[in-house]
Amino acid sequence: MKEVRKTEEKLTEERLTEERDQKRESKEKMKDSQIKNVAGNHYDKYNSKNPIEQKLMRGFFGCVSSLFDIVKKDGDPSRVLEAGCGEGVFTAFVAKEFKKARIEAFDVEDIVIEKAVANYADLNIDFYTGSIYDTGKEDDSIPLVICSEVLEHLEDPVRALRELVRIGSVYIFVSVPHEPIWRILNMCRFKYLKDLGNTPGHINHYSKKGFLKLIEKAGGCEVAAYKRSLPWQMALLKITNGR
């Protein structure tokens, strides 16, 4: 009887140890898939009352629309995914550009997604929390993938872009600040002087050459169109993946 009890206790202990190991392994995998996402200053440039900033934003959205027109020439995408959607302002713009598409958008922070859901409850957008390093989507499953103002915050932007290439089937839209113009303009308005104009959270800084080099390093795509809109730069990428 004692031996049976000892055997049961041993099995219970082994089972608990196994469960603890599985939980630890799961946490390590989650940590590895997300790496560190450096938070920015969360400045709401989209809804600024400053007339100069408003003009810059009109220029930005005008350039984005011109690239989206290229996408539409191949037929409206049935599905669009935005990686790093923030509070959903840009996602809402995308939803109006592609009215017939199923729009999905994710960000790494729960609180940000909650705000996006609250802000755009009237739009048919599927907001959720997720990782740009491991989207959980199938290969070649998204006709248009969008990544706007995200790569400058990431510790491994190449890995992130490769994941977007993996899940993309036709196009990827990417935009980042155009450096060093971005930091120069910040200093002209006496912002972040101690950091030489670097916006909090920006750990990657792309000139045109650096931006195109990043795209080349990611592989699996080619630049279909490149545009600049002070102080941003953007590219529409055509998925190749050897096809």
Is the omega angle on the peptide bond into residue 231 within 30 degrees of 0, that is, cis? Answer: yes
Reduce the DSSP state of residue 241 to 3 states and report it. Answer: coil
Distance CA 147, CA 80 (A): 11
Note whether 221 and 237 are within 8 A (CB): yes
In the numeric block, which tokens belong to residue 119? 């802000």
17-26, 135-144, 179-188, 201-210: the lowest-pLDDT one:
17-26
Reduce the DSSP state of residue 69 to 3 states and report it. Answer: helix
Q: Specify the DSSP element, H or E, that contains 15.
A: helix 2-34
Note whether 139 and 242 are within 8 A (CB): no
Rounded mean pLDDT, 18-31? 49
Confidence label for 10 from pLDDT (cuts 50, 70 and 90): low
Reduce the DSSP state of residue 185 to 3 states and report it. Answer: helix
Q: Quote the pLDDT of residue 51.
A: 86
